[in-house]
Amino acid sequence: DTGVSQDPRHKITKRGQNVTFRCDPISEHNRLYWYRQTLGQGPEFLTYFQNEAQLEKSRLLSDRFSAERPKGSFSTLEIQRTEQGDSAMYLCASSLAGASFSNQPQHFGDGTRLSIL
Amino acid sequence: AQKITQTQPGMFVQEKEAVTLDCTYDTSDQSYGLFWYKQPSSGEMIFLIYQGSYDEQNATEGRYSLNFQKARKSANLVISASQLGDSAMYFCAMGAQAGTALIFGKGTTLSVSS
């Protein structure tokens, strides 16, 4: 059972550039989540998918952010025209959808650390 | 709105001692789940333990147990027999329904010394 995989682990880019991150969930998981974590804070929810459908987006997800999960497997998160405030760890998680929490915790990847110069 | 509060920025404990990390929550939902995650300095978030709002017994997973007091809206994590490898940031989180977004607290840094 491989875990959630994120690529790249680190991304350094100049302000104004576009960046794209990829997340491969645990293979049997149909739900996929994106979170953002800044230094000294807990993760903040950005968006989540069930299969290929994007079911919820946070107010944190500005128009510069877009996420896709075209075939219901891997997902990409793109940030356009990056700003200094976008510097953070971007975490992906996956889980099984179901009626109860008990055996469906969200499992997280190692994250992509984004640094904006 | 849901909220998680972790009031201890840092906790220090010696090896083999037990430690309690505090978590209080606020929600108007009747059904919810409470989670604890561990985040070592390497960055990955590791799921530790879960408690459902309707579970009558406190959850336990190995050295981890969750002291759930529903009336007080608290869900404290107890780590027994601390080990050096327990040094990490610990986050309490809550979800309204299975599969939806988790709300996290700000975390508590645990330092275990020999």
CB-closest option in A42, A93, A96 to B107: A42
CA distances from B33 to B4, B12, B23 (A): 12, 28, 13
Question: How confident is the model over B25-46, as pLDDT tens digits?
Answer: 999 888 899 999 999 998 889 9
Residue A104 confidence (pLDDT) above 80: no
How many residues in chain B? 114
Find which of A50, A51, A104, A106 to mutate to test the B interface (most B CBs within 10 Å of its CB): A106
What is the Cα–Cα distance from A117 to B33, expressed in whole angstroms?
A: 39
Residue of A100, A107, A113 with shortest CB distance to B47 = A107
Q: Is the pLDDT of residue A101 over 80?
A: no
Q: Tokens 């998918």: give the residue.
A: A49
Residue entry with tokens 């952010």: A65
Q: What is the mean pLDDT of chain A?
A: 91
Q: In this predicted structure, what is the pLDDT of residue A99?
A: 55
Chain B residues at the A interface, defined by Cβ less than 8 Å, are 4, 33, 35, 37, 42-47, 50, 52, 91, 93, 95, 98-107
Residue-wise pLDDT tens digits, B43-86? 889 999 999 998 889 999 999 999 999 999 999 999 999 999 99
pLDDT tens per residue, range A32-68: 999 999 998 999 999 999 999 999 899 888 899 999 9
- In the 3-class helix/strand/coil scheme, how is A23-63 assigned residue by residue? EECCCCCCEEEEEEECCCCCCEEEEEEECCEEEEECCCCCC
